[in-house]
Amino acid sequence: MKKNILKKIFVKIIKSLGFEIIDQNEFRSPTLNKDLNQQLSSINKSIILPLGEVNLTRKISSLLIIFRTNSNIEIWDQNKKRIFEKDKIEYVKRSLNSLIKAIKNLKENNNSIKIEIKVVDDNSTKENLNVIKDILDKSKENFEIINHNHTEHLNIIKEQKSKDTFSNLSSLLKSFEIGKNNGEDLIYFIEDDYLHFKSSLEEMIDTYERIASQLNKDLIICPSDYPYLYSKDENTKIYLGEKYHWRLVSESLVTFMTSKSLINKHFKQLEKMGLQWVDPWEKPLHELYKLYPCLSPIPSLAVHCANINSIFGISPFINIKKLWDENENL
């Protein structure tokens, strides 16, 4: 009994000093009151065994999600069909369902983050807009649907090869403008054909906090493990996130998460993607990856629903059919 009392006093002292005890014999942390196979991280520190803890000096206060939709065009600039060969609104619907589930999961595990959704819609039909609005209404999340009018960019975007190209540039530019003007902390730019795993946003936020605290700089986080990146023979680095490995990449598509401070500092660079089509379209974004780490998860946290043969689509070793079926409804 005396031994137990002394042990409790010792644990209390260690905890008051900000340290944790790992009891490998009992496979438990008495200071955290958790088994070692549970999540050990707390709101102020990230703990991964056997590497110890990282003090989280970069805490996230808010997340603005900018969901860019066009339910009229099946695949922009292509004649191919997407995997499962459904109408575009079905991909928008399931992508939005999966995103909301990820938001709910994030809130359950971190209720201190303010979350807002802004949908930038590119001339969807009234019927399709109602589908989007119904999902958001049911979600009970804080949202706004912005019916984007391309004419506001007629004087700044150069004439393009097609109306659809102009439309895509304009909606992306509008998204960047919203991020710059309305973002507070992190901003997540998402296209309307990404299926997210339930844990995706939690892992992305936790990883941003952990690695940005370690490196003391802004990051760019991509949710997808794009297959085309495996065809490139280039050096990389591997980082530990909260529960995933993350690798340093030099390219991505235009679904990514980053900070408002980075957007403000490099808005002119990002703006280039909305002013003129170049090949690759994402080249101005890739230039920023030379200044800031861009990280991609292994395995993927979200899957791009492109054509099944597209190297920009389905991530390796992911059960896309299961993910698709799970997000038919909220």
pTM confidence score? 0.91
pLDDT in tens, 123-153: 889 999 999 999 999 999 999 999 998 888 9
Question: In sequence order, what are the residues at sequence separation of 6 or more whose Cβ sits closer than 8 angstroms to the Cβ of residue 14?
Answer: 20, 21, 31
pLDDT beyond 90 at 238:
yes
Q: What is the mean pLDDT of residues 113-118?
A: 97
Q: Is the CATH number of domain 62-326 3.90.1170.50?
A: no
pLDDT in tens, 260-311: 999 999 999 999 999 988 888 899 999 999 999 999 999 999 999 988 888 8
The whole-number pLDDT of residue 133 equals 96
Tokens of 321: 């059919």
pLDDT-derived band at 39, boundaries 50, 70, 90: confident
Question: In sequence order, what are the residues at sequence separation of 6 or more whose Cβ sits closer than 8 angstroms to the Cβ of residue 3?
Answer: none
Q: What is the mean pLDDT of residues 47-71?
A: 88
Burial class (CB in 10 A: 0-12, 13-18, 19+), 308: middle
pLDDT beyond 60 at 2:
no
pLDDT in tens, 92-108: 999 999 999 999 999 99
pLDDT beyond 60 at 313:
yes
Domain ranges of the chain: 2-38, 62-326
